[in-house]
Structure 1
């Protein structure tokens, strides 16, 4: 394939040389072989090419590729910051899990993390039997939600933003897989209920249905924090690129997907899906990774790199709004 590509490039270059040679011959035959005439011809040729490109760009209607139109990317509160990702082992002892998560958050903050993330369902086992047992009333708070009470206290004390992984939430007689986001004052500023429930059946390997116990969320979640505008998803939400594209259209600087992938599909898809969702929005480089054991990963986020890549490759101006649209139903209905 490389050889074919090289030959193609060579043939194209040869064809371009012939094209230029033909025009030089034409210029000479009409007596226009002086420098000024050549310059004027080249300017006209360049003008024609530019005009064609502008006409093509206008026909694409990129502003119509997202309905309503994309929100301009807001100026982030800061350009660079450290993020801490906590990978935790979970037991059937809820109090131990909460204390363990607290310690991990504190360690990440000590290493300079201004944003700390926890994994999916970190306060108890990931099973349909356990979801009701470990569920908390997040809205009531306090003793009825010791997991989020801890997150609130730690975020306020350490002055950090926390994307609190997820826990099972009990609300209105239903159970949800819910991620809570706390700001540096310890205030709950967003609550994302997992939209896409993980129902899978691979004979002889894995069968699991979240929908047997959990109720799907109804709202995409995007929140302004001290480290920028964040779009939130939970694990299986990452499979659906439309959600990530919607978050980008709402001006997200960062997408966070706490997860607990299984060991059947996880090794094949986990990193691939993360990079895919990042690449959808022009930034698919792996900055840090780890294996399957407990770990605390610290990495630096630099928003200027995203801006640079979007300047070099302006996908926003190249979307074919004349052919397809991403419709943000919630924003459309709220207008």
Structure 2
């Protein structure tokens, strides 16, 4: 089965997981009623909470997390693959994981993924974010084999690291995902081009459910959930920041077709880095201060 209907749910999660679960139930039901067999929610579905104390008050481990339990029930109830874009999970050592969950139609977990790249930035509008001060970064990219194709898991800021998605595509992922809580400033500047670029350069579908609007904790997110084809065409978009459900019919055979037309994955060659003038080149994965600051 290569053809399936996918849905991306746009939310405006608040600080109360129970309230967010009520919205989740309604929107997942709407997506299932539209015929979606794969439904994705945004990053931080369970709670968008800037306060560490507030987050700690609702934090649970994976086995007891309210969102994970609700998602398991909803996946089984509607007979769908339900992808929780992420929610905060208590892990060993008193740390927190920004963790995605992919659940099958039986309600059982197929895969989970901990966000690898931490959003540590200072924006022009005065916003400052240090995710690494709160969350423990993951170490491994994750893919999952589903009845309709191989899917790669990623979260939000990961979208700016094309090597992650290339690694997924190189092992056969035809559907890539990047559920997000993009800030309004960065979303207005880069959201669409990043989603389309990852689709085009990998010959893959990209599905990214998003948070949108002004949240209870004061942050503002961009919305504009997207489903993009391997040729870079926007198949569906929530062209606003309000809660919504978007759907698109996906044929993963189109990924193979796009890769035949432009076989850049096949044509890629290993290469080194040589700095003209004799300066020693950085080794793979090694950062030089002059390069990192440029």
Q: TM-score range by the shorter chain?
A: 0.7 to 0.9
Say if 1:231 and 1:256, in contact at 8 Å, map to a contact too. Answer: yes
Higher strand share: 2
SS in 2 for 1:298: strand
- The aligned residue for residue 37 of structure 1 is none
What is the total number of aligned residue pairs between the two structures? 245
Unmatched tracts of structure 1, length 5 or more: 1-77, 328-335
Q: Distance in 2 between matches of 1:318 and 1:165?
A: 32
1:230 alignment partner, one of 143, 151, 154: 151
CA-atom RMSD, angstroms? Answer: 1.9
Q: Distance in 1 between matches of 2:131 and 2:265?
A: 36
- The aligned residue for residue 237 of structure 2 is 289
Residue range with higher mean Cα deviation, 309-318 or 251-260: 309-318
User: Cα offset for 1:147?
Assistant: 0.7
User: Cα offset for 1:289?
Assistant: 0.8
- The aligned residue for residue 41 of structure 2 is 118
SS in 2 for 1:244: helix
Alignment of 1:1-335 (within 5 A): 78-129=1-52, 130-138=54-62, 141=63, 144-172=64-92, 173-282=94-203, 283=230, 284-290=232-238, 291-321=240-270, 323=271
Give the TM-score of the pair, scaled to structure 1: 0.70
Q: Distance in 1 between matches of 2:91 and 2:59?
A: 9
Q: Distance in 2 between matches of 1:214 and 1:122?
A: 16
User: Cα offset for 1:203?
Assistant: 4.6
Unmatched tracts of structure 2, length 5 or more: 204-229, 274-283, 285-294
- Summarize deviations over 1:274-327 as a string: whole Å, max 9, x none: 111111112222111111111100111111222222222222442224x369x9
- Misfit runs of 4+, over 6 Å: none
SS in 1 for 2:179: coil
Give the TM-score of the pair, scaled to structure 2: 0.79
- Distance change (3 Å), C-alpha of 1:229 and 1:119: same
Higher helix share: 1
User: Cα offset for 1:80?
Assistant: 1.0
Larger Rg: 1
Say if 2:61 and 2:89, in contact at 8 Å, map to a contact too. Answer: yes
